[in-house]
Copies of this chain bind each other. A is one copy, B any other.
Amino acid sequence: MKYSIGIDLGGTDIKAGLLCEDGSLSCRLVVSTKVDEGVKPISTRIAQTIRKIINATESESSRNKKIIGIGIGAPGLIIANSGIIHFSPNFPGWTDIPLLDYVLTELGDINLPLYIDNDVNVMVLGELHHGAGVGYENVIALTLGTGVGGGVVIDRQVYHGSWNTAGELGHTIVQPKGRKCGCGNRGCLEAYAGAKGIVERTQQRIAEGKNTSLNTDDLTPKQIADAANDGDELAVEIFSETGRYIGIALTSIAHILNPQIAIIGGGIAAAGESLLFQHIRKEFKQRTMDIPSDMEIVPAKLGNQAGIVGAAMLAY
B174 and A258 contact, CB distance less than 8 A:
no
A77 within 8 A of B: yes
- Nearest CB to that of A169 among chain B residues? B256
A184 to B137, CA, bound (A): 28
Which residues of B lie under 8 Å from residue A248 when comparing CB positions?
173, 176
Binds B, one of A22-30, A41-49, A95-103, A289-297: A289-297
The A contact surface, by secondary structure, is: loop
A260 within 8 A of B: yes
A165 to B291, CA, bound (A): 7
Interface size class of A (residues with CB under 8 A): 35 or more
A63 within 8 A of B: no
B289 and A168 contact, CB distance less than 8 A:
yes
Contact of A289 among B172, B183, B287, B289 (CB under 8 A): B183
Which residues of B lie under 8 Å from residue A251 when comparing CB positions?
171, 173, 185
- Nearest CB to that of A177 among chain B residues? B175
A257 to B183, CA, bound (A): 17
Q: Known: A173-B287, A174-B176, A289-B183. Is A258-B165 also a contact (CB below 8 A)?
A: yes
